[in-house]
């Protein structure tokens, strides 16, 4: 029979993780489904399990002295969606995950730990240059989320580590325009088929000072390419229409969808084209929907 541990403190959890290799289980909405055996039958896990969702050290949302936002890994999607402290993209993505009952259980740490290219929170967190804090009995390390998830279901998590926090840095200037679109089979309660998160900052002269875009479910990992984004930085917003064709051709090279590649390529580029075209038409900042 597989052991189940329910530590009361993070310190205890890290010792259990080190000594037994127990797998963290937070909301269980991925793990319980992946290892299900049938209705009413307890899932059969191949390793010991450690329930981390009740650890106080992993729950909550707060601002740090440098203005960054710190979200505990066991914070649920419902809590994130309801917090005014959380950046807009992450709140939007949280509020569209599954149904309310799922959002009350599903955690940000579990969404990252699951490392699915369809995961809604990593796509927005990578857009915002978020990092994960990983703890073990040896200490802590902080890794950029875009590096931490290096492939479909692949992360840099070591066998003795737990994700404790997610840190979202404050952008140098507030975004002028921001956009998030999730395409699913239905408008609600659907796994993402494709998503695009984007943001742009424009100065008073119309010069683009920041531009970012991240694509979910368009490849084995969330697609974001800072070198390509930089090709728009320093350009005037009025020049967007003339820059778009070559920009979209280059964007096509950074996405590598496996299933339904034509649909995913075309839809991703259309979303990006829509966002950037709308930006070029608008005089003042607002959410583009
Ligand atoms: C019906 C249904 C609908 C869904 N809809 C969506 C959706 O719309 N969007 C979406 O993105 N996802 C969706 N999911 C997937 C799932 O709900 C999310 O990925 C969720 O965020 C997982 O969180 P959890 O706390 O339940 O993770 P768990 O199942 O507890 O864990 C998932 C993985 O993360 C690891 N893990 C958990 N916590 C930690 C930690 N602190 N440190 C290290 N590793 C950890 C676990 O070991 C496991 O590998 C859906 C799932 C179902 C069943």
**Residue pLDDT, tens place only, 205-248:** 999 999 999 999 888 999 999 999 999 999 999 999 999 999 99
How many domains does the chain fold into?
A: 2
Q: What pLDDT does residue 258 have?
A: 85
Question: Tell me, what's the pLDDT at 192?
Answer: 76
Q: Does the pLDDT of residue 186 top 70, yes or no?
A: no
Distance 128 CA to ligand 1 centre (A): 20
Nearest CA to 107 among 42, 57, 52, 176? Answer: 52
| 47 has pLDDT over 70 | yes
Q: Is the CB of 208 under 6 A from ligand 1?
A: no
DSSP assignments along 39-57, one per residue: TTS----SS-EEE-TT-GG
The pLDDT of residue 228? 97
Probe target for ligand 1 pocket from 97, 181, 194, with the most ligand atoms within 8 Å of CB: 97
pLDDT value for 245: 96
User: Does the beta carbon of 48 sit less than 6 angstroms from any atom of ligand 1?
Assistant: no
Residue 215 near ligand 1, beta carbon < 6 Å: no
Mutating to test ligand 1, I would choose from 23, 25, 78 the residue with most ligand atoms within 8 A of its C-beta, which is 25
Cα 26 to ligand 1 centroid, rounded to whole Å:
8
- Given a cut of 80, whether residue 185 has pLDDT beyond it is no
137 and 10 share a domain? yes
Tell me: do 149 and 21 sit in the same domain.
Answer: yes
Q: Give pLDDT tens digits for 244-289.
A: 999 999 999 999 888 888 999 999 999 999 999 999 987 666 666 6
Distance in angstroms (rounded) separating the CA atoms of residues 167 and 156:
17
Kindly state whether residues 187 and 274 are assigned to the same domain.
yes
Condensed to tens digits (0 to 9), the pLDDT of residues 93-137 reads: 999 999 999 999 999 999 999 999 999 999 999 999 999 999 999
- Residue 197, pLDDT score: 96
Distance CA 196, CA 272 (A): 8
pLDDT at 198 over 90: yes
- Give me the domain span that covers residue 191: 177-281
Q: Is 59 in the pocket of ligand 1 (CB under 6 A)?
A: no
Ligand 1 geometric centre to CA of 228 (Å)? 31
Q: How close is the Cα of 25 to the center of ligand 1, in Å?
A: 9
CA 242/CA 179 separation, integer angstroms: 21
**And the tokens for 11?**
């310190």
Is the CB of residue 7 less than 8 Å from the CB of residue 13? yes
| Residue at a domain's end among 112, 136, 168 | 168
Task: Tell whether ligand 1 has an atom less than 6 A from the beta carbon of residue 31.
Answer: yes
pLDDT higher at 188 or 224: 224
Q: Is 248 in the same domain as 220? A: yes
Average the pLDDT over 168-192 and give the result.
84
Burial class (CB in 10 A: 0-12, 13-18, 19+), 115: buried
Same domain, 245 and 133: no
* pLDDT at residue 288 in the model: 67
Q: Which range, of 43-47, 177-181, 257-261, averages the lowest pLDDT?
A: 257-261
- Of 123, 151, 168, the residue that ends a domain is 168
Q: CB under 8 Å to 169, separation ≥6 — which residues?
A: 68, 128, 129, 130, 131
Domain boundary residue among 122, 142, 168?
168
Query: For 57-71, how does the pLDDT look when each residue is reduced to its tens digit (9 = 90+)?
Result: 999 999 999 999 999
User: Which residues lie across from 180 on neighbouring strands?
Assistant: 197
Identify whether 286 is part of a domain: no
pLDDT band at 188 (very low <50, low <70, confident <90, very high): low
Question: Does ligand 1 have an atom closer than 6 angstroms to the CB of 102?
Answer: yes
Nearest to 97 by CA among 86, 83, 107: 107
Tell me the C-alpha to C-alpha distance, in Å, between residue 234 and each of 198, 203, 265: 17, 10, 27
Same domain, 164 and 184: no
Strands (E) in 116-191, as ranges, are 131-136, 139-144, 149-151, 154-155, 162-168, 177-184
Q: Which tokens hold the place of 184? A: 């699913």
Atom of ligand 1 nearest to the CA of 108: 21
**Does the CB atom of residue 51 touch ligand 1 within 6 A?**
no
Please list the alpha-helical segments (H only) found in the chain. Answer: 10-20, 31-34, 77-82, 88-95, 100-103, 108-114, 120-127, 145-148, 226-230, 240-254, 261-281
| d(C-alpha 99, C-alpha 217), whole Å | 20
The span from the CA of 260 to the CA of 192, in Å, is 13
């Amino acid at each position: 029979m597989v052991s189940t541990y329910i530590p009361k403190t993070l310190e205890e959890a890290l010792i259990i993780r080190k000594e037994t290799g127990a797998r963290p289980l937070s909301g269980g909405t991925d793990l319980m489904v992946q290892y299900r055996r049938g209705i009413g039958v307890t899932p059969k896990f191949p390793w010991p399990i450690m329930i981390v969702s009740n650890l106080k050290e992993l729950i909550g949302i707060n601002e740090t002295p440098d203005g960054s936002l710190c979200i505990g890994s066991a914070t649920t999607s419902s809590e994130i969606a309801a917090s005014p402290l959380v950046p807009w993209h992450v709140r939007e993505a949280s509020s569209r995950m599954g149904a309310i009952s799922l959002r009350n259980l599903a955690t940000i740490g579990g969404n990252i730990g699951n490392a699915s290219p369809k995961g809604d929170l990593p796509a927005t967190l990578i857009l915002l240059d978020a990092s994960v804090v990983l703890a073990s009995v040896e200490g802590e390390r902080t890794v950029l989320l875009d590096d931490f998830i290096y492939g479909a279901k692949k992360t840099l998590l070591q066998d003795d580590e737990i994700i404790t926090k997610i840190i979202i840095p404050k952008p140098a200037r507030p975004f002028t325009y921001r956009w998030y679109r999730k395409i699913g089979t239905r408008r609600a309660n659907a796994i993402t088929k494709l998503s695009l998160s984007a943001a742009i900052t424009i100065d008073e002269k119309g010069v683009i000072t920041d531009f970012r875009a991240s694509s979910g479910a368009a490849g084995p990992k969330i697609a974001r390419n800072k070198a390509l984004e930089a090709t728009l930085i320093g350009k005037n917003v009025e020049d967007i229409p003339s820059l778009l064709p070559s920009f979209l051709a280059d964007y096509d090279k950074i996405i590598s969808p496996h299933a339904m590649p034509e649909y995913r390529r075309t839809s991703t580029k259309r979303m990006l084209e829509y966002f950037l075209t709308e930006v070029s038409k608008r005089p003042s900042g607002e959410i583009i929907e």
